[in-house]
Structure 1
């Protein structure tokens, strides 16, 4: 299944794509793609999409999951990206928080913070927890995944690395977490650790990689994280980015108002964001 949330920000409705890629309304069956709904997606899989109301027009898409409690990111999880950042691959995953106020729809604008000169892009594979996970093994880990999605881990590099403290303040500005367009259930993702991913800025390809080069892969990450805290339905984990970010270019290149960012992952859909200066 490809599950969707659509409509005005803060008032999104649940939806599903049919075989032709048309948006269907799930409101009569579930209140949202969130929380306990994620623990029993088999109930939604049993619904014939052709029986659902067709959503007319081209509504805004929201983040593909609602009610997220934790937005966890993994840093330096591609060896070639670590190299372009001038850092070593860590002996254990680097974990940081992207605060949930950063979450937005896949085509919402990137808001460049006041005074920012180093806003950057990162295409990433995200996955959403469907069942609580605590002290799980790698062998059990994928049973706790509700689905996979595209994430742009937008980052302000000066805030992230040139000012004291944690990375989160460079990762969590408003609209720094475009998520979606779809939550794609695991039955449609043959191998999350072998997906092509790409990102363009103003039509120029910047990132062209594969999840196959991740250092710490999805089952390990779930097991690892669950040793420290419980993962709950709706939690998002973003797994890191391949090389090609603005920070690694010579000279570095960063986003400015008017730039258009397009990105996607094989089988998980695409995003498109226009950059704007934050008010």
Structure 2
């Protein structure tokens, strides 16, 4: 299934996508289930196929404002330098890391598909990072590696937009440059885990104005989806709706000579074949 969150008729809603239409689920999965995160936390998703087969679409994708699939997650944890070619990209002679590098992002730093990415007035170094994000469906702490993939509710495309000069403000942290409001995007939807036979052969592609900038496959991840869940759950409880963004391939704008940062009017697309295309235009924040 493809599940989305959106705004329509003055209200935040969620639903299932069928072709170019939306079957609204907002008031159909029982009391207290008013968001996709609520549905993941209970047994609501089990009811969706039966409802979707009987209900008529209420909206088309073109007439609603898409939100990040999980608009208000408890946690967004991003993984840095996870594709093996990225470690080589630093050209510092370092060995592959023993453990993943992680940092937090806040919900307000992301917009949904079709919404503008904001280039802040404080910097001209807004950059793109195409990634695959996984969404937790089953909660857990100290999750065994063998069980970890069973905690995935689904996957989505993510642009982990980064303000490059601000990631260097602190000596040991990158949080500032990773959390400017509306600098990244998620979507267009959450594709549920049953749409994927395996996670080690997924391709992620990033384009800017139609020009391919990034392409790699999860076969080249240093830390698999399962290991990330196992490792992260060692030190924090993962809950339904939590998001783990799994890293970006080589080819970000900062790595060109000279760097190729985003400008107003640029269109950034992140595609994962079989999952969808996340597309956003860049605008200067006023």
Q: Confirm or deny a common fold (TM above 0.5).
A: yes
**Contact 2:40–2:153 (CA under 8 A) maintained in structure 1:** no
1:81 equivalent among 86, 89, 112: 86
Q: List gaps (5 residues or longer) in structure 2.
A: none
TM-score w.r.t. structure 1 length? 0.93
- Aligned partner of 2:49 in structure 1 is 45
TM-score w.r.t. structure 2 length? 0.90
1:162 is displaced (CA, Å) by 4.9
Higher strand share: 2
| Further displaced range: 106-115 or 150-159 | 106-115
- Aligned partner of 2:6 in structure 1 is 6
Q: Deviations over 1:134-160 (max 9, x none)?
A: 011111112211111000000111111
Question: Is residue 253 from structure 1 mapped to residue 260 from structure 2 by the alignment?
Answer: yes
**Contact 2:40–2:241 (CA under 8 A) maintained in structure 1:** no
Structure 2 residue matching 1:81: 3-state secondary structure: helix
Across the aligned residues of Structure 1 and Structure 2, the Cα RMSD in angstroms comes to: 2.0
1:254 is displaced (CA, Å) by 0.7
2:109 equivalent among 97, 102, 118: 102
**Contact 2:16–2:52 (CA under 8 A) maintained in structure 1:** no
**Contact 1:209–1:242 (CA under 8 A) maintained in structure 2:** yes
| Further displaced range: 66-75 or 28-37 | 28-37
- Aligned partner of 1:161 in structure 2 is 168
Q: Deviations over 1:89-120 (max 9, x none)?
A: 42210010112221211221110112212111
In structure 2, relative to structure 1, the CA distance for the partners of 1:276 and 1:61 (3 Å cut) is same
- Aligned partner of 1:28 in structure 2 is 27
Question: Is residue 115 from structure 1 mapped to residue 122 from structure 2 by the alignment?
Answer: yes
2: CA distance, partners of 1:52 / 1:26: 11
2: CA distance, partners of 1:100 / 1:67: 6
In structure 2, relative to structure 1, the CA distance for the partners of 1:28 and 1:11 (3 Å cut) is closer
1:253 is displaced (CA, Å) by 1.1
Structure 2 residue matching 1:227: 3-state secondary structure: helix
Q: List gaps (5 residues or longer) in structure 1.
A: none
In structure 2, relative to structure 1, the CA distance for the partners of 1:83 and 1:252 (3 Å cut) is farther
**1:171-186 alignment, distance < 5 Å:** 171-186=178-193
- Aligned partner of 1:195 in structure 2 is 202
1:9 is displaced (CA, Å) by 11
